[in-house]
Structure 1
């Protein structure tokens, strides 16, 4: 997809925000003005960058946020985690990059993770000043309002051919795991497997869905597992004048929440 609004102007570049969602299959660049309107959007296969998008990457954006996939991910109870022992945790990580840590106070856990090494090097070479983040940081910040007074919550975050799935019982996180998913049938299989593993027989009170638009087959697939389907998003509601772009950005609200959700 390639979109540029008529009122997009290069001399406003220092005032625009550049949001980038990068993974192994597709890169998406979203340029947002001060009113949260999408004034440009480029989405293209990661291995075949769009020439027009490459030109934009050379412009002097002052505010750049980039969502990167992870090479490794581990959750450790905060009460037993110590920074002095980080090397021990590093030995269990598969990646080559620096182990990052991120505290999740409500859940009482600390996340240890590594960005994909090649994508990290690529994007930091282009934008050394960029703010990098992983989607789980946004997700955990946004789910808090949904789990406080809810018995059971299933979360599904779609990232192309992967799905990050998480389950809360009350405020207790019982599972956070990613799965390789191609079709809605794959998604059904893994949800049923998670239910069986956790001994859940009835419906969830809520399913929190992100990463796809309401018209996506995955949205239809998860509706049967809960009393209520909620599309996870915060206060940074992007919008576009073009209808097709508006549909596209329904799947990108997670990346718009940085920096409001991540400290």
Structure 2
């Protein structure tokens, strides 16, 4: 359900943060106050937005943070990356016509190259030319970092609308990150077991880090069977409960998107 607080006032728009998780089907919108209160929440059909959503997106927000789907994710160690070779890197992507984006994952010492859907990116840039676009994998790494020990294996599982991201750390070292189309528990089992086989993981991993942005699918019980500990990845913001909204909404990891802004 949608929610608008009585504390949401149009004349404070410049002070609010607009956080958007966009996709090909449903868009999720939060408006946060300076003291990190959820003032507004919307979840609507991207192809048929409500009048209220259209009105909200026409407002002159000055602090806007947007996550849109990405593709062709590639990692390059900092010591090997050369910004002058960006066009050459792009040529090796499955769609070399699209411009490659670059972001740094500083604590891992790597650069991440990826591409956005051109039409979806243009749609949102036309609405908010000054918005900061943040790839969700960067947020996932940031939220996972405190849970990665120097010993043991950590599997990350981030469920989205049309894809699921899997990543793996072994003894504190980053080994793998990729996105897969996972529709069923059998699909998830297949990709996890294949990943474990690829990196020689035997038995249970130390931890599974789990976040779910698609509440039509819940793999928590299944994932618990792969690990000694199942950890739900949630926002680090101290946001009070709101009676009109579920706990999943007020603790969603996407609320931390602004913390990844450069």
Taking structure 1 as the reference length, the TM-score comes to 0.90
2:221 corresponds to which residue? 220
Alignment partner of 1:151 is 2:149: no
Matched residue count: 261
Task: Give the whole-Å Cα distance in 2 for the aligned partners of 1:83 and 1:105.
Answer: 16
1:70 corresponds to which residue? 70
Residues 124-174 of structure 1, C-alpha deviations (whole Å, 9 max, x = no match)? 000001111001111122222222434110001111121000000022111
The correspondence of residues 10-159 of structure 1 with structure 2, limited to 5 A, is 10-93=10-93, 94=95, 96-159=97-160
Query: Could you list the runs of 5+ residues in structure 2 that have no partner in the other structure?
Result: none
SS of aligned partner of 2:237: coil
Query: Could you list the runs of 5+ residues in structure 1 that have no partner in the other structure?
Result: none
2:184 corresponds to which residue? 183
Equivalent pair of 1:39/1:240 in contact (CA under 8 Å): no
The correspondence of residues 154-165 of structure 1 with structure 2, limited to 5 A, is 154-165=155-166
Equivalent pair of 1:164/1:178 in contact (CA under 8 Å): yes
Task: Give the whole-Å Cα distance in 1 for the aligned partners of 2:106 and 2:243.
Answer: 40
* CA-atom RMSD in angstroms: 2.2
Equivalent pair of 1:100/1:114 in contact (CA under 8 Å): yes
Equivalent pair of 2:158/2:211 in contact (CA under 8 Å): yes
Task: Give the whole-Å Cα distance in 1 for the aligned partners of 2:36 and 2:151.
Answer: 31
**Is the deviation greater in 106-115 or in 162-171?**
106-115
SS of aligned partner of 2:225: helix
SS of aligned partner of 1:208: strand
**Aligned-pair distance for 1:97?**
3.6
